[in-house]
Amino acid sequence: MSTLETALDILDCFDPASPELAVTDVARRLGIPKSTVSRVLKTMARRGMTEQCEDSKRYSVGPLPLRLGQLYRARMQTLDLVTAATEQLASETGFTGYVGILDGADVVILRMTQGRYPVRIVLEPGYRVAAFATAMGLSLLARETDTVLRTMLPSILVHEPTGLRKTLPTLLRDLAAIRRQGCAEVSEATFPGIHAVGAAVRGASDGRPLGFALSFPAGAADAAQQARIVARVKETAYRLAMQVGDSPRNPTPAESAKDGSAELLRGSRTKLTTNRNGTARATR
């Protein structure tokens, strides 16, 4: 058994009925030598995993697990907020909503909300796909710096199921446009005939962004409807950013109207269109 496994087993010994334990208590519960328990507990105390009472010499859980638990709850709160917002978008539009997270060069689906539209692609939680081939993945990649992206991504990215290819310099140019736009759109990059609009927010608790997206058949929404979807996704991302302590990337519609950029709500927008050979172009 490794020291890490022993430490985790020791933490598991503490519960509401036994908030403090002596070395002999832990050794008896785990069936391991007291010398091993004493050594590991001292190491755990130095790192804040446990605390030792000076009077009784008994140990209790330290501040580190509490801090990690707070981070976990904060992340789950952010995930719940993003999920609820995505469910609202799916309800409004009838299209399928997804929430996901970046894992290296891939995006992993965490939550899925089925839409009402009869034709839809359903990707279950746990589904993994190349991030550069999805609207949500592009939005998540856009939250990283170019320096980080150069270290984590290959020079040529390939999405095997469709043969989509993109060089890293091209992707970096696309991501710069997405950062300005505040959301990403892709057409037929992952599945034929499917359009998607995605954005990402970063929770202040751990700094790791969560992405969300709407997916729908390209023929299910005309240009004006797609413009409204883009506006709602951007508005949702802005609202979520305010809730989770992120830096808002886009103004609300009311603020857009004040600064003269309300043409977005009338259907004018920058659209990043990715075709099968991996090139992208911005259109209005």
Residues 77 and 149 in one domain: yes
Say if 41 falls within a structural domain.
yes
Total number of domains constituting the chain: 2
| CATH number of the structural domain spanning residue 25 | 1.10.10.10
| CATH number of the structural domain spanning residue 183 | 3.30.450.40
Say if 14 falls within a structural domain.
yes
Distances in whole angstroms, Cα of residue 61 to Cα of each of 10, 16, 48, 209: 10, 11, 8, 30
* Domain end (from 61, 81, 102): 61
Residues 104 and 202 in one domain: yes
- Given a cut of 60, whether residue 196 has pLDDT beyond it is yes
Residues 83 and 51 in one domain: no
**The domain containing residue 163 runs over which residues?**
71-283
Say if 125 falls within a structural domain.
yes
Residues 42 and 181 in one domain: no
Of 83, 77, 107, 103, the C-alpha closest to 203 is 77
Residues 36 and 170 in one domain: no
Percent of the chain with pLDDT over 90: 51
User: 107 or 261: which carries more pLDDT confidence?
Assistant: 107
Residues 79 and 138 in one domain: yes
Say if 66 falls within a structural domain.
no
Residues 30 and 134 in one domain: no
* Residues 280/274, Cβ–Cβ less than 8 Å: yes
State pLDDT tens for residues 100-152: 999 999 999 999 998 887 766 667 888 899 999 999 999 999 999 999 999 99
* Domain end (from 41, 61, 81): 61
Q: What is the largest CA-CA distance in the chain?
A: 73
Question: Distance from CA of residue 227 to its chain's centroid?
Answer: 24
